[in-house]
Structure 1
Amino acid sequence: MLLNGPSLAPLAGGAANALVVLLHGVGANGADLIDLAAYWRPDLSQTAFVSLNAPFPCDFAPDRLQWFSVADRTPAVLLQGMRVAALSLDATLDALLAERGLTDDRLALVGFSQGAMMALHVGLRRRRRLAGIVAFSGALRGGETLRAEILSKPPVLLVHGEMDEIVPFAAMAEARSALEREGVPVAVLARPRLGHAIDEVGLDAAGRFLRDALAPGVAAG
């Protein structure tokens, strides 16, 4: 199943030379994150943005969406849910790139909460290295399987509020450690007094990360 969602063409007009795909959190939809593109488009004027809708109705709000169920938080169950969603997400990324004549090294994933978990899960398991991954308020689920499953090592930026009441702040350090063990380039940004949210400091940091990752002439190694 291919996914859809709101999109924005490059600010400069013409064909896109890069693509940023946004992945929302549980109980939301693609419209929840597409406005973030406004912060980054001036510096990424030839980049297209797509904010995908997750594939499944939300457990607690059927008119909203989720990537995987959190009704059963057993790690193995959560990981299996992510694997199922990854099938649709991977196929959709392939289709979005093909439509624009782009390759993985011109693609960045930006996720929030559950979307951040999906960005990390899928981005590290694609055969061709992405330009980068930004994970806001997320976690690295399935870290114990990463060594056997990792296929590429794109640069990663982890941003997390120290007062996060939904995904514990400690998840950022856990993800960082697991990524560093596998040789993934990772940067972190802790936000004091911030809960489960994205603030302007995080947006600015993500903008710089995306600008560097998607700069013309930058190719995945």
Structure 2
Amino acid sequence: MTPLDGPRLPAKSGKTRQLVVFLHGYGADGNDLIDLGQAWRDLLPDTAFVSPHAPEPCAGAPYGRQWFPLTFRVHNERWDGARQASPILDAFLDAELKREGLDDHALALAGFSQGSMMALHTGLRRRKAMGAIVGYSGILIGPDDQPLSVLAPEITARPPVLLVHGDQDQVVPPMALPYSLEGLNALDVPVEAHMRPGLGHGIDNAGLRLGGDFLARAFART
């Protein structure tokens, strides 16, 4: 199993009580999202941040990484890819919690694009529910040509989820937001969703504020 690692930010207060793990998109690496932690440090002063590099080199971006391949030509490509990558991410999360002396309720995942897919796939299958999941420009993955309700037997954890998507996204279509929202509702996962007007495949300042506020509320509840 390939170990993960990446850039880190310590808790601003000097005392780590929560941990946010960033999961980057296809063709990027952990450096792509770690600065989100800088934006959230004042709001989450007791939170440490880590942004691991995905386990595989990316065929479509020579200097980037991928959680799983994307060719858009293979049946169940995302489903099979997420299932293969999830144990690697799971092991990393367990190791990070042990490293910080924290329980799952003090953990949150914040993913972008393919990283959002991984956050939802792995976070809903943990042994215990984490504090929160924030997904930007992603989608809840299921087997091709099957309703998301077929996932129900696999769902072992139901943390609160925030989904944010741009209505001009040309990479992961905007319809992914209502599709994922409907699926999470059917699986009894608490979810809040926001479509950002005029936004393409990215994270804008409003989405950044939504994510930070959502995490602060989730950690306060736990």
TMscore range, shorter length? over 0.9
Q: How does 1:133-148 map to 2 (within 5 A)?
A: 133-142=133-142, 143=148, 145-148=150-153
User: C-alpha root-mean-square deviation of aligned residues, in Å?
Assistant: 1.1
Residue 9 of structure 1 is matched in structure 2 by 10
Residue 188 of structure 2 is matched in structure 1 by 183
- Aligned-partner SS, 1:205: helix
- Aligned-partner SS, 2:63: coil
Of the structure 1 ranges 56-65 and 109-118, higher mean CA displacement relative to structure 2 is found in: 56-65
Q: Is the 8 A contact 2:165 2:177 kept in 1?
A: yes
Residue 63 of structure 1 is matched in structure 2 by 63
| Unmatched tracts of structure 1, length 5 or more | none
For 1:5 and 1:73, locate their aligned partners in 2 and report how far apart those are by CA, in whole Å.
Answer: 30
| Cα shift readout 1:80-134 (whole Å, capped 9, x = no counterpart) | 1111111110000000000011011000000000000000000001010010000
Residue 103 of structure 1 is matched in structure 2 by 103
- Aligned-partner SS, 1:22: strand
CA drift at 1:74: 3.7
| Unmatched tracts of structure 2, length 5 or more | 143-147
Residue 196 of structure 1 is matched in structure 2 by 201
- Per the normalisation by structure 1, the TM-score is 0.95
Q: Is the 8 A contact 1:162 1:190 kept in 2?
A: yes
Change (3 A) 1:37 1:73: farther
For 1:134 and 1:74, locate their aligned partners in 2 and report how far apart those are by CA, in whole Å.
Answer: 28
Q: How does 1:4-43 map to 2 (within 5 A)?
A: 4-14=5-15, 16-43=16-43
Matched residue type, 1:179: L
CA drift at 1:59: 1.6
CA drift at 1:75: 4.7
Q: Is the 8 A contact 1:163 1:169 kept in 2?
A: yes
For 1:98 and 1:23, locate their aligned partners in 2 and report how far apart those are by CA, in whole Å.
Answer: 19
Q: Is the 8 A contact 1:59 1:71 kept in 2?
A: no
CA drift at 1:2: 2.1
CA drift at 1:145: 3.9
Runs of 4+ in 1 over 3 A off after TM superposition: 72-75
Q: Is the 8 A contact 1:68 1:78 kept in 2?
A: yes
- Aligned-partner SS, 1:198: coil
For 2:73 and 2:109, locate their aligned partners in 1 and report how far apart those are by CA, in whole Å.
Answer: 25
